[in-house]
Structure 1
Amino acid sequence: MASTAEASAIGSLKNFIRETRTVRSVFSQTVLDRNMQVVQKGGGTMQFERPGKFRWVYEKPYKQLIVGDGLKVWFYDNDLNQVTMRNLDVAIGSSPAALLAGSSDIENSFELSEMGSEGDTEWLEAKPKARESTFEWVRLGFSREGILKAMELHDNFGQTTVLTFSRLERNPRIAPELFKFSPPEGADVISE
């Protein structure tokens, strides 16, 4: 019985990647410091289309937009009226976004291991194989039905970001223009 439970989270991830081309979800985000004290809470909506297209809209604690158009990733800070642009392959390669919106060859970039069940959630851990990654590990939690429920990211500074997904829709029709970004008039644009 234990072996079935232990093998299920990685199976859920592989099925999720294989069977899910687009996703739309509401998310809440909590950032914890190295002592597991809450540093920040926020949330918004997230959408993606494989491969490499995604849109994260943060409504709180401050408005921010992150758009991956398949070639570039655009980070727009509404309050600063500032845009940072990076090449997608650099920004997504071994990033947490690659786990969700990347291609299906996940095991080329991540070492996957089962974490077991907690309540009705099955957990796996993904460690990036690339040394230049900005995080040490990502944990993904799936319901027993294979629905993505949560994502925890532990970065190289000791912070843990916990994302909880709700109202997750698999394979909804998403307008292609949602994955396009043009810097607003007067915005400072920084290329990295």
Structure 2
Amino acid sequence: MNLSTKKSTKQKMMSGALAGVLMTSLGVAAPMMALTQTATAAPAGNLTAAKRLNKLLTNTKSMTANFSQTTKGASSGTFTGSMSVQRPNNFRWETKSPSEQLIVANGNSMWIYDKDLEQATKQNVDSQVGNTPALLLSGDPSKIDQNFKITQPYSNKNYYVLYPKSDNASFKSLSMSFSGGKPVMMVLNDTLGQTTSIKFSGIKMNPSIGSSQFKFTPPKGVDIINQ
């Protein structure tokens, strides 16, 4: 396996895991520095935190943005690209640099297309939010507290930390923060000990997005893998 193929494989592993997370919440996580900047504000109770996060997610019916994604750990790297999400159940995550990859989901299935490997993988979208966070964004925000313990460390900051209740979840915690009602960053700590940070820019809230953005047809000659 050459260096280019290794990078593409690593990127596929990273982005595949993140796809579910972003479908989850449109989400955003606060940088770790936020944990130390406002120690004077008392934490909100779990019920209050859940209601506040529910309101933010409910107000986010669709979103487009550019992203910069950095992972630290066994699979380190930085990738940039663009994303689109729309309720219900629609998601598009397109990495453009340093290599090209496309992830498209529509609620029933998710495609991961790796241009360098000439390979397209089709997966079923898990309906259990506790196993994958895929429905936090596209599902019913009012039900997220059934699957996650939701905390708001500082009651005067729109910064939330979610802990999955399921023992089968692929991540340990997901931190989300909003600025002016917009998701600006996400930090995901996975079960492999890796930390992935995603920063959003050029955010557009609740735009009209054509349905073609959430459809994918594998190009001719591409290997198709069903999982």
Candidates 182, 190, 194, aligned match of 1:159: 194
Structure 1 window deviating more from structure 2 (86-95 vs 157-166): it is: 86-95
| Higher helix content, 1 or 2 | 2
Q: How does 1:21-170 map to 2 (within 5 A)?
A: 21-33=61-73, 39-89=76-126, 94-104=131-141, 105-116=143-154, 122-143=158-179, 145-170=180-205
| Higher strand content, 1 or 2 | 1
For residues 78 and 102 of structure 1, do their structure 2 counterparts lie closer, same or farther at Cα, with a shift above 3 Å needed? Answer: farther
**Counterparts of 2:167 and 2:225 in 1: how far apart (Å)?**
25
For residues 30 and 147 of structure 1, do their structure 2 counterparts lie closer, same or farther at Cα, with a shift above 3 Å needed? Answer: same
CA contact (8 A) 2:101 2:115 kept: yes
CA contact (8 A) 1:56 1:66 kept: yes
Displacement after TM superposition at 1:141 (Å): 1.3
- Residue aligning to 2:216: 181
Q: Which amino acid aligns with 2:154?
A: G
Give secondary structure in 1 for the equivalent of 2:122.
Answer: strand
Give secondary structure in 2 for the equivalent of 1:16.
Answer: helix
**Counterparts of 1:11 and 1:27 in 2: how far apart (Å)?**
27
Candidates 13, 17, 22, aligned match of 2:53: 13
**Counterparts of 2:128 and 2:208 in 1: how far apart (Å)?**
25
Query: TM-score, normalising length from structure 2?
Result: 0.73
CA contact (8 A) 1:9 1:142 kept: no
Give secondary structure in 2 for the equivalent of 1:23.
Answer: strand
Query: TM-score, normalising length from structure 1?
Result: 0.85
Displacement after TM superposition at 1:86 (Å): 1.0
The aligned length equals 185
Displacement after TM superposition at 1:106 (Å): 1.6
**Counterparts of 1:66 and 1:92 in 2: how far apart (Å)?**
19
CA contact (8 A) 1:13 1:146 kept: no
Unaligned runs of 5+ in 2: 1-39
**Counterparts of 1:54 and 1:91 in 2: how far apart (Å)?**
17
**Counterparts of 1:94 and 1:149 in 2: how far apart (Å)?**
25
Displacement after TM superposition at 1:6 (Å): 4.0
Unaligned runs of 5+ in 1: none
